[in-house]
Amino acid sequence: MTEADGKRPGGGKHSLPLKERMAFGLGDLVGNGMFGITGSYLIHFYTDVVGMAAGQLAMLMLVARIVHSFSDPVVGLIIDRRGLFSGRVMPYVHWFAVPLALSLCACFARPFSGATGELIWAWVSYLAMGIIFSFFIVPYGLLPNTMSERSDDRLSLSTYRMVGATLGTFLVGSLVPPAIAHFGYMAGIGLVAAAGAVVAMVPSWVCRERIALAPDRLPLKVTLRSLLQNRAWVVVTLALSLFYIDLTSFYGFAIYYAEHVLGRDAAFGGLLISVMGVTKATGVFVSSFVAPRLGWKPAITLGYACSMTGLILFWMAPNTAWLLIGLFGLVCFFDGIALPVFYTMLAEAIDIGAVLTGVRAAGIAYSMNSFAGKSAWALGGFLVAALLAWGGYDGHAAIQSEAARHAITFGFLGVPFCVGLLSIIVIQLYPPVSAATTMSNSAEALIIPED
């Protein structure tokens, strides 16, 4: 096994307490829960409750999510320039948890009557929610770089993060539908958001920052040029961006696929989302054993290849509930194997780039990765709405046209298949990186004294 295959130094024993790793994972339970709610139920809310046309929805998803993408680098610059909290990232996680929950509730509010008023409110509330989300998720994503420089710790943190993320997916699929059914969209989402605000603050109560992020005073163009010279960062950024398109397709089309292709109710779509959460969490857990033995690139390749095979079997299978659930679970299980590996590679790619280019700008490095991911999320959201419009989807029609059903099927199964194939190709471009590069960066780390 060579280092080109993806193994990294770091020892075999975790230095971080278990409670910190578990608490860190809860942050992405909220983050991924937000993605799930806005990527599935909010889209469904806009088309089937508000009555927004698919074309209007496509424009909203594209423009708003592009704006959200640009807010990430702004937050990264604030962190690198010591704009708030003296360069610490934990206070962001603490102070923006409640505003994030309130902004989510606002997206499902209907304070204005009339199509024009509701459309304007949708734009304003959704734009505000995404900007506030940047102030939470970018600092949260940087926590592994401030908690430890050890590869084993970062892989473990990535694993717990992905367990939290997939648990968030499960809760979105299992708790949100009954909450909406019993209390309506506004009150149901409000209860979920209130619980999410409390959970989102747990990392700030338990986790500790031990490594100070070095400030970056260089011109922005110099910093961005250093990122583009870091091949490892570029490859991981592309791979994670593709993953967001995959995730958007599953979230965005699950309810539509259940109702209009399978002929089942919306609850079955929620069940598929719940299954996605449970089985991805299982895949993430298995990844912590598989990835260190196979290497990063082989683990990702194996996961996506098996996931693509599962998609074909799901498409060919008869409309039997238990069989469809089982096959979809396998698809998501193998997707889950790749997730913690991606985030471990990202954390180390940021450190490696600092050594290779001499530019230390962890905030902008992570936020530009998040920018690319959110741009892909924007493209995915636009793709969901565009496919619905292309197929002639009518939110008020009980029975959809054959073209609409074909568009939904391609979005739910075809898009993830294409993403898997492209991801396998992209990840092969990840360069071999010497252990000395990572270790030299670790030696230069700025350690925060114990309190």
Q: Where are the domains of the chain?
A: 19-443
**Surface-to-core class of residue 214, CB atoms within 10 Å of its CB (0-12 exposed, 13-18 middle, 19+ buried):** middle
Q: How far apart are CA 206 and CA 135, in angstroms?
A: 19
Sequence-distant (6+) residues with CB within 8 A of 100 are 30, 34, 129, 132, 133, 136, 196, 197, 200
Q: How many CB atoms lie within 10 A of CB 219?
A: 9
- Among 21-30, 81-90, 347-356, the range scoring the smallest mean pLDDT is 347-356
Q: How far apart are CA 403 and CA 225, in angstroms?
A: 45
**Residue 232 confidence (pLDDT):** 84
Longest dimension (CA), the chain: 64
Label residue 358 by pLDDT band (50, 70, 90): low
Q: How far apart are CA 227 and CA 233, in angstroms?
A: 7
Sequence-distant (6+) residues with CB within 8 A of 397 are none
Of 269 and 365, the structure prediction assigns the larger pLDDT to 269
CA atoms within 13 A of residue 94's CA, in its CB half-sphere: 10
Sequence-distant (6+) residues with CB within 8 A of 70 are 371
pLDDT surpasses 70 at 217: no
Encode pLDDT of 169-208 as tens digits: 788 878 888 888 888 888 999 999 999 999 999 999 999 9
| Highest mean pLDDT of the ranges 87-96, 173-182, 408-417 | 408-417
Q: How far apart are CA 275 and CA 166, in angstroms?
A: 10
Q: What is the mean pLDDT of the chain?
A: 83
Label residue 8 by pLDDT band (50, 70, 90): very low
pLDDT surpasses 70 at 439: no
Of 104 and 224, the structure prediction assigns the larger pLDDT to 104
Token code pair at residue 50: 């508000």
Q: How many CB atoms lie within 10 A of CB 437?
A: 18
Helix (H) or strand (E) run with residue 393 in it: none
CB 415 within 8 A of CB 245: yes
Q: How far apart are CA 75 and CA 329, in angstroms?
A: 36
- How distant, in Å, are the alpha carbons of 42, 103, 124, 167, 306 from that of 336? 24, 29, 34, 12, 11
3-state secondary structure at position 212: strand
Q: How far apart are CA 80 and CA 350, in angstroms?
A: 13
pLDDT surpasses 60 at 54: yes
pLDDT surpasses 50 at 393: yes
Q: How far apart are CA 385 and CA 374, in angstroms?
A: 16
- Nearest Cα to Cα of residue 348 among 9, 2, 4: 9
3-state secondary structure at position 315: helix
CB 77 within 8 A of CB 364: yes
**Residue 442 confidence (pLDDT):** 39
pLDDT surpasses 90 at 329: yes
Query: Whole-model pTM?
Result: 0.66
Q: What angle do CA 225, 230, 233 make, to 5 degrees?
A: 110
Q: 19-443: which CATH architecture?
A: Up-down Bundle (1.20)
Length of the chain: 451
Encode pLDDT of 224-238 as tens digits: 777 788 888 889 889
